């Protein structure tokens, strides 16, 4: 009895695996040495295209199948050294990868790929194959290489090498879906299957590759088929059908069924050994539940604090163990969301290569800290700002080869992307060895735009002017950068992620743009403070120290703002009750506590009534549950069930220090 399987349930697995294969393909293509390419890399690129083609044929994605089939033939000729690589060929292969990505995205979105693009890329690849064949004095191949040479519609002898018993049973079922099994036997540890089918060997390999590796499959014409087939397993097979429908009817042993049937030792060849695919939504749900668990534990701890520890020593011991376990669980779950920066950095070799060619520049891209981890939600949001900074460095920063040589530099410029952990933050740098920022030109443009600047401001303040809306010193507007938009958006996006941007530049030597971000937006080590009857949380990584102001250390400036003298330095004194309009707070600075905070490279003093203590808090999105509040980044639930606001120290420094006006109405 045949069983109809809805193969659409396996689409997502194919899309994810194909996406990873395309990323791997691009990285390998960019790393190829044109003069002497690594054979292993060429084989890996071929296998990636072959795997995508097999999956596409299985699910009936015709455009993707057609493109990868022609592409695969060219890659096969390349790895067999019948087609010599050139920069133009690499460019064509990279363009093909882009088309495959577009086709994959179209199928993912439930639409058909653009037929004009399909026709164009197939024509380009076929022309390349004909030219290569012409140089070699032989016709261009129209089909895949030797193992797939057996004609469709006849008997095939399929040898499956070193296959586990569970996989053998699974493969028999899949082969039976593609034709009629006329015999089988085990020879020297190999499973040999004779199959009458209308499918080509290519399609059979594509199906089997979802269960075992391609080098475990050998297919040839059946010249020695047994007269009888006593060992045949009786699995009903559908009537022979054309290749495409047959491929579409067989789900190619999708991942879900494969994992169910396969014992653990047999999974060694599967992608991501020892790992599973889990949707991000499920991880987010676990993180939310763990956050609620931490809040509940905090509430229990606060309730238990009123009890006598001598009488309830076992309860206090259990509460301590619960707190440790909750923190360990929270850290373990948070680590699941962490992703390496290589996820971001791997996108830039292609971008740098294409833009360098377009701009007529020679640029060497160097990356450090690819294994440095960052929360998935942040790593996806940092891609666009980082891309804009890289494009700016390529366009404005690094000079053309003739200008570099004239300045005594190497003709090839260097662009460095790096990432490293620093305390509770991650620091991402985009650094170039170009001409650096021009202080005079930036100041002149700022004055022309009506910005409040003077000739005496520091270099750091001058460099920050490039983030002003509509600011650009580009002499020529290009489609790469220089349109006067974007840098302000970059800064705003980074600030919304709880980070900030720093710039350092030296004329003639280059520019470094430094992005400082928190590792995650889900949990926070904070210092809780009291202002009136309200509790606020200050991010602990911004807190430098705290002290009680003396009357002689507090001074009033000409504009009525207060400053505080701390070890030879005058710091702006920001009164928290004025900023957030809190009633019942202490008015006299000498009666409160001054917390010295640092944000975006600047220090200031924040006046609060009292310090409560340090603890880890679970962040809740305030904008989603209430509304956006100036100088507040999020909220949390305390042990007594009340809500405490988490202060955005960077925003407080940017706005409150300049003018102490209420940011939050009563």
Write out 333-402 in H/E/C secondary structure: HHHHHEEECHHHHCCHHHHHHHHHHHHCCEEEEEEECCCCEEEHHHHHHCHHHHHHHHHHHHHHHCCCHH
Which residues lie closer than 8 Å to 25 by C-beta, 6 or more apart? 45, 48, 49, 97
Which residues lie closer than 8 Å to 65 by C-beta, 6 or more apart? 53, 56, 57
pLDDT (tens digit per residue) in 488-517: 888 888 888 888 888 999 888 899 999 988
Answer with the residue of higher pLDDT: 558 or 631: 631
Which residues lie closer than 8 Å to 177 by C-beta, 6 or more apart? 237, 238, 246, 249, 250
Mean pLDDT of 90-96: 91
pLDDT at 477: 52
Query: Is the pLDDT score of 257 beyond 70?
Result: no
pLDDT at 263: 33
Query: Is the pLDDT score of 148 beyond 60?
Result: no
Domains and CATH numbers, the chain: 7-142 (1.20.120.160), 147-265 (3.40.1310), 280-340 (1.10.287), 342-518 (3.30.565.10), 523-656 (2.40.50.180)
pLDDT at 190: 82
Which class for 613: exposed (0-12), middle (13-18), buried (19 or more C-beta within 10 A)? exposed
- Cα(314)–Cα(328) distance, integer angstroms: 21
**Whole-prediction pTM:** 0.65
Neighbours of 220 (CB within 10 A): 15
Compute and round to an integer the Cα radius of gyration of the chain.
32
DSSP string computed for 451-478: ----TTS-HHHHHHGGGSTT----SS--
- Cα(598)–Cα(652) distance, integer angstroms: 11
Mean pLDDT of 347-356: 90
Mean pLDDT computed over every residue of the chain: 79
DSSP string computed for 70-112: HHHHHHHHHHTTSS---HHHHHHHHHHHHHHHHHHHHHHTT-P
Q: Are the C-beta atoms of 524 and 646 separated by less than 8 Å?
A: yes
Query: Is the pLDDT score of 536 beyond 90?
Result: yes
- Per-residue burial over 512-533, b = 16 or more CB atoms within 10 Å of its CB, e = otherwise: bbbbbbbbbbbbbebbbbbbbe
Out of 100-109, 199-208, 302-311, which region has the weakest mean confidence (pLDDT)? 199-208
Q: How confident is the model at residue 266 (pLDDT cuts 50, 70, 90)?
A: very low
């Amino acid at each position: 009895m045949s069983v109809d399987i809805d193969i659409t349930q396996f689409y997502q697995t194919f899309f994810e695996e194909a996406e990873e294969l395309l990323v791997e393909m691009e990285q390998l293509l960019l790393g190829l040495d044109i003069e002497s390419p690594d054979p292993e890399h060429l084989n890996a690129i071929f296998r990636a295209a072959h795997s995508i083609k097999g999956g596409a044929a299985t699910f009936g994605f015709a455009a993707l199948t057609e493109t990868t089939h022609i592409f695969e033939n060219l890659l096969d000729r390349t790895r067999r050294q019948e087609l010599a690589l050139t920069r133009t060929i690499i460019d064509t292969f990279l363009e093909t990868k882009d088309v495959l990505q577009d086709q994959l995205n179209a199928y993912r979105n439930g639409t058909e790929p653009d037929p004009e693009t399909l026709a164009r890329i197939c024509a380009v690849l076929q022309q390349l194959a004909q030219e290569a064949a012409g140089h070699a004095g032989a016709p261009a191949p129209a089909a895949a290489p030797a193992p797939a040479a057996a004609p469709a519609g006849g008997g095939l002898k399929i040898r499956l090498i070193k296959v586990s018993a569970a996989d053998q049973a699974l493969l028999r079922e899949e082969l039976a879906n593609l034709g009629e099994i006329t015999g089988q036997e085990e020879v020297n540890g190999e499973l040999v299957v004779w199959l009458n089918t209308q499918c080509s060997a290519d399609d059979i390999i594509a199906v089997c590759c979802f269960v075992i590796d391609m080098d475990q499959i050998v297919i040839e014409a059946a010249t020695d088929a047994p007269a009888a087939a006593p060992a045949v397993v009786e699995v009903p097979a559908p009537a022979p059908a054309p290749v495409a429908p047959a491929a579409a009817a067989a789900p190619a042993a999708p991942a879900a069924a494969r994992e169910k049937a396969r014992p653990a030792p047999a999974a060694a060849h599967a992608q991501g050994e020892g790992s599973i695919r889990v949707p991000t939504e499920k991880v987010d749900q676990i993180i939310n539940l763990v956050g609620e668990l931490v809040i509940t534990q905090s509430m229990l701890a606060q309730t238990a604090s009123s009890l006598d520890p001598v009488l309830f020593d076992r309860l206090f011991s259990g509460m301590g163990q619960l707190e440790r376990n909750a923190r360990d669980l929270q850290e373990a779950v948070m680590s699941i969301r962490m992703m390496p920066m290589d996820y971001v950095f791997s996108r830039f070799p292609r971008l740098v290569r294409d833009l360098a060619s377009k701009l007529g520049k020679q640029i060497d891209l160097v990356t450090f800290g690819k294994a440095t981890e960052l929360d998935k939600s942040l790593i996806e949001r940092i891609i666009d700002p980082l891309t804009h900074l890289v494009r700016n460095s390529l366009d404005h920063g690094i000079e053309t080869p003739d200008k570099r040589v004239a300045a005594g530099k190497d003709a090839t410029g260097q662009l460095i992307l790096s990432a490293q952990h620093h305390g509770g933050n991650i620091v991402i740098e985009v650094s170039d060895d170009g001409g650096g920022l021009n202080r005079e030109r930036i100041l002149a443009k700022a004055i022309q735009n009506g910005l409040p600047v003077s000739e005496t401001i520091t270099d750091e303040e001058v460099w920050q002017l490039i983030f002003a809306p509509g600011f650009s010193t580009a002499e020529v507007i290009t489609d790469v950068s220089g349109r006067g938009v974007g840098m302000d958006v970059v800064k705003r996006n980074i600030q919304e992620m709880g980070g900030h941007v720093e710039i350092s530049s030296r004329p003639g030597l280059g520019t470094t743009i430094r992005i400082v971000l928190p590792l995650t937006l889900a949990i926070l080590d904070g210092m809780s403070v009291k202002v009136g009857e309200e509790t606020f949380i200050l991010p602990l990584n911004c807190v430098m120290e705290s002290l009680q102001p003396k009357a002689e250390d507090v001074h009033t400036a000409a504009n009525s703002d207060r400053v505080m003298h701390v070890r030879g330095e005058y710091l702006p004194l920001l009164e928290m009750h004025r900023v957030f309009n809190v009633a019942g707070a202490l008015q006299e600075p000498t009666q409160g506590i001054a917390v010295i905070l640092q944000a975006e490279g600047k220090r200031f003093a924040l006046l609060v009534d009292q310090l409560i203590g340090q603890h880890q808090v679970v962040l809740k999105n305030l904008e989603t549950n209430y509304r956006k509040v100036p100088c507040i980044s999020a909220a949390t639930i305390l042990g007594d069930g009340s809500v405490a606001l988490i202060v955005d120290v960077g925003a407080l420094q940017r706005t409150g220090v300049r003018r102490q006006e209420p940011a939050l109405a009563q």
